[in-house]
Amino acid sequence: MGLLSVLYKGLFILGAAKVFQLFFRLIQCCLQLFVLPATNFAKYGGTKKSNSQKKYWACVTGASDGIGKEYAYGLAARGFNVLLVSRTESKLVELQKNLVQKYGSQGVEVDYLSMDCAQNKDADYAALKDKIANKKITVLVNNVGLSHDIPVSFLDTDEKEMNDIITINNVSTLRTTKIVLPNMMESVSQNGDVKGLILTMGSFGALFPSPLLATYSGSKAFLQNWSSALSGELKEHGIDCELVLSYLVTSKMSKIRRSTVLIPTPKQFVRSVLDGCGYRGGAQERMSTMTPYWSHGLYHFVVEETYGCYSSLVNMINLKFHKSIRSRALKKRAKKN
């Protein structure tokens, strides 16, 4: 009897602790998604002073389209000079012109480097090193990314698509960060008031292991652990390092054009990232990670706190979802041919 009552008490305490933890996380999640003030980028060196010499630089990869392009606009608006790194030179020239037109009067300078990350050429990374030599960088956005053209089983994945996904999402992100980081550390150590920031684009494709997108899913899961580990290393150097989680966003990659409650435009999504830097949003259970868009945040929170992102039920639902996307994509292809 004595043993039973100890057991009941223990279970009650455990249950109460779990309920309290859930309640605490829910309140935090809602405050961060809906109430708390936007991040002040002055701490990363963003300034409205119109002297461009006094401005710090933000480097954005995959900047010529979609989410990356909006990062470039968002960071210029927050008072950074912007270095655009991406593949298609004509798009970079156009974006540079538009950014200077919009923010040039506020002293914002824009530079660019065109490189194809899939080629993994030493000469491109040497050119990046040269590009940043006289710039003080405090913000790096590792945004460049590639997914599968359409959902496909691992065995049927085209060899080039498989290699490109890993080279662009992983190798290029690591090589770029290795080049930019010493510059960022120096910029931060020269001015004790300024911090550094590294944002790396993760994905719900890795938050939920995603059948029929296995290589993409694995590449983004790699970035999750790499970024979180790096964040531990960089704290003492005054550099914040965040993995940014996102469900679908309208873009060339997602092939979705119309936004919905669950699928924001790149502009809406990037605003939530830049306003929410330092908040976990829907990613309450993991360090140095943010799910900042409100509907993505609630989605992440509910799945994690109920079935769990790694549950077999979620995996099965994901498989069904991707099977149906694949069959629609194949029908569309067949119509075109």
Ligand X SMILES: NC(=O)c1ccc[n+]([C@@H]2O[C@H](COP(=O)([O-])OP(=O)(O)OC[C@H]3O[C@@H](n4cnc5c(N)ncnc54)[C@H](OP(=O)(O)O)[C@@H]3O)[C@@H](O)[C@H]2O)c1
Among 45, 46, 68, 281, binds ligand X (CB under 6 A): 68
Contact 269, 297 (CB under 8 A): no
Residue 305 touches ligand X, criterion: CB under 6 A:
no
Contact 210, 230 (CB under 8 A): no
Site string for ligand X, 158-177 (x = CB under 6 A): ----------x---------
What's the rounded Cα separation, in Å, for the pair 262 and 267?
A: 14
Among 249, 290, 298, 303, binds ligand X (CB under 6 A): 249
Strand bridging mode 137-142 / 196-201: parallel
Contact 45, 240 (CB under 8 A): no
Measured from each CB, the residue nearest to ligand X is: 145
The least CB distance from residue 98 to ligand X, in Å, is: 14
Stretch that binds ligand X, among 23-31, 97-105, 124-132, 246-254 (CB under 6 A): 246-254
The least CB distance from residue 328 to ligand X, in Å, is: 16
Residue 219, Cβ neighbours under 10 Å: how many?
26
User: Three-state SS across 60-116?
Assistant: EECCCCHHHHHHHHHHHHCCCEEEEEECCHHHHHHHHHHHHHHHHHHCCCEEEEECC
Among 2, 35, 252, 312, binds ligand X (CB under 6 A): 252
- Residue 206, classified by CB atoms within 10 Å of its CB into exposed (0-12), middle (13-18) or buried (19+), is buried
The least CB distance from residue 18 to ligand X, in Å, is: 31
Site string for ligand X, 117-156 (x = CB under 6 A): xx------------------------xxxxx---------
Counting Cα atoms < 13 Å in the Cβ hemisphere of 209 gives 8
Helix runs in 198-337, H state only = 204-207, 214-234, 266-275, 294-305, 312-336
The least CB distance from residue 276 to ligand X, in Å, is: 16
Which amino acid, residue 326? R
Q: Report the candidate in 33, 61, 28 with the shortest Cα–Cα distance to residue 177.
A: 61
Cβ proximity to ligand X, 28 vs 254, nearer residue: 254
Cβ proximity to ligand X, 160 vs 335, nearer residue: 160
DSSP 3-state assignment of 293?
coil
Cβ proximity to ligand X, 194 vs 283, nearer residue: 283
What's the rounded Cα separation, in Å, for the pair 119 and 224?
A: 24
Residue 65 touches ligand X, criterion: CB under 6 A:
yes
Q: Is 311 annotated as a binding residue?
A: no
Among 111, 116, 285, 305, binds ligand X (CB under 6 A): 116
The least CB distance from residue 37 to ligand X, in Å, is: 26
Kindly name the residue from 56, 73, 103, 216 that is annotated as catalytic.
216
**Residue 44 annotated as catalytic:** no
Among 203, 228, 231, 291, binds ligand X (CB under 6 A): 203
Active site residue ranges: 216
Judged by the rule CB under 6 A, the positions of this chain that interact with ligand X are 62-68, 86-88, 91, 116-118, 143-147, 168, 201, 203, 246, 248-249, 251-254
